[in-house]
Amino acid sequence: MKKKTLTHLFTWLFCLGSATAFSQTGTITISNNSNTTINKNIYGQFAEHLGHGIYGGFWVDKSLPVKKQDRIRLDVVEALKKIKIPNLRWPGGCFADEYHWRDGIGPKAQRPRMVNTNWGGVTEDNSFGTHEFLELCSLLKCEPYVAGNVGSGTVEEMSKWIEYLNSNSTSTVVQERAKNGHPEPYKVTFWGVGNESWGCGGNMTPEFYADQFKRYASFAKDYPGARLKKIASGPNSDDYNWTEVCMKNIPQYMMYGLSLHYYTIPTGQWGKKGSATSFSESEYFNTMVNCLKMEELVTKHSAIMDKYDPEKKVALIVDEWGVWTDPEPGTNPGFLFQQNSLRDALIAGTTLNIFNNHSDRVKMAALAQTINVLQSLILTDKEKIVLTPTYHVFDMYKVHQDAKYLPIKLDVPDYEVDGKKIAAVNASASQDAAGKIHISLVNLDIHHPITITTALQDIKWSAVSGQVLTSANVTNINTFADPNKIHLSNFTGAKKDGDKLVVTLPAKSIVTLELN
């Protein structure tokens, strides 16, 4: 009886992850030998006409008792300005290839209505269109990234949209823009030539799409002060042939970037993805395995791009990424509303570390999606607002935007579940214009704190401070009733030991350090 009791006690202590008894160790080496900048656009966002992302998220009813400009919700704007989102992708997603831009200009009462066939079959009233989106970007102080319609649109339609946005001539379409309230050109530069052309954007072959890209791009004209950065619709996940064909068949001078879409599906199966809030440790581990596949995807797609573009002139743009779970019970399944747990924050930190570490090729990305859809930064319910754990990761990581990338090597313990192993810790580092070093570390192990000793080669520093994001359980979430259950805290687990940095990462945590 006594032996059984001791066994149960040991098991209980193991699950708690006692810092004293079970702390593990690892080492990291950070070098100052780099000429690469972490492009701020890696920290971009995505807003599609889907569920309550636009309507009820950014664009709210006139009667809602919150501060607004027109119908743009300003507490949302201020929250996103705080984390310095650099770009916003719109209007989709799958919606982009059924969207006709002329439906979204002119007097709102006269705009035609349409059925959103991709997302819930709801009526789209087009009250949020081109001018409203660009006003939103102006308020956010971010770059607009427009996805043009290749699937159901025409070359002329896309060409005229660009002229409407960017020309300073006296053409009829420019006069129409002025009549609609904006005499000056918008000077939009990021331009997606279709979306997911392998799937909802037209079910094309890569060979057909490459020819379509060249055709559409030929008539997507540059205007004064607005040289287009044309982004090709790239591969789905591990479709390496798509990348090969596009890089081989599309001239580099026509293409600013090639997109990549990959979602972390907890189960790895589209039919039953798994719950956002209720999952076992085994399910959590498998989710992290699927998240870490991003490293493999970026590496292999980059290697193909290197064959055709060794100077890395064409950017890899991961403009849809994030965790995708089953919708919350009781919600419209076509609206893709899911809660956001500490697990999702660990996914965000890990993925952003991967992008930072591949910043020689990855120049832009977009989390899917900003508000109320998939792995959101913000959740809203009428006048209520919640900042998710993922939001706090972007707040922590904004220090890496446009900073010098510092190469990093890790020797860290494994996190093992059911006989399978992954590296327990991942990290990235940068140096900002003021000379400050920032190191972001993620401990995926839900039981064990891990002490990391860091060698900083040719880097002088004297003091360290930091922030940490963690919680008692990886299933914890912020809710409208308890919006600050998971929040940023000052981190005191790092110290200087001679010329080395020693940091103890709590279990299941994200930490960003600043070295002065």
User: What are the residue numbers of the active site?
Assistant: 196, 320
Burial zone of 270 (CB within 10 Å; 0-12 exposed, 13-18 middle, 19+ buried)? exposed
Reply yes or no: is the peptide bond before residue 369 cis, omega within 30 of 0.
Answer: yes
H or E, element range at 454: strand 450-456
Q: How many whole angstroms separate alpha carbon 262 and alpha carbon 370?
A: 16
- Alpha-carbon dihedral sign for residues 272, 273, 279, 283: positive
Please spell the DSSP secondary structure of 130-195, one letter per residue.
HHHHHHHHHHHT-EEEEEE--SS--HHHHHHHHHHHH--S--HHHHHHHHTT--S-----EEEE-S
Token pair belonging to 99: 């969207």
Token pair belonging to 298: 């970026």
* Contact between 507 and 443 (Cβ < 8 Å): yes
Token pair belonging to 213: 């890209």
Task: State the Cα angle at 402 between 26 and 80, rounded to 5°.
Answer: 95
Q: Which residue has the tokens 């596949």?
A: 293
Q: How many whole angstroms separate alpha carbon 29 and alpha carbon 409?
A: 5
Amino acid at 53: G
Q: Number of C-alpha atoms within 13 angstroms, CB side, residue 123?
A: 5
Q: What does each C-alpha distance from 120 to 49, 117, 333, 437 come to in angstroms?
A: 11, 7, 7, 46
Task: State the Cα angle at 281 between 429 and 484, rounded to 5°.
Answer: 60
Task: State the Cα angle at 467 between 461 and 468, rounded to 5°.
Answer: 130
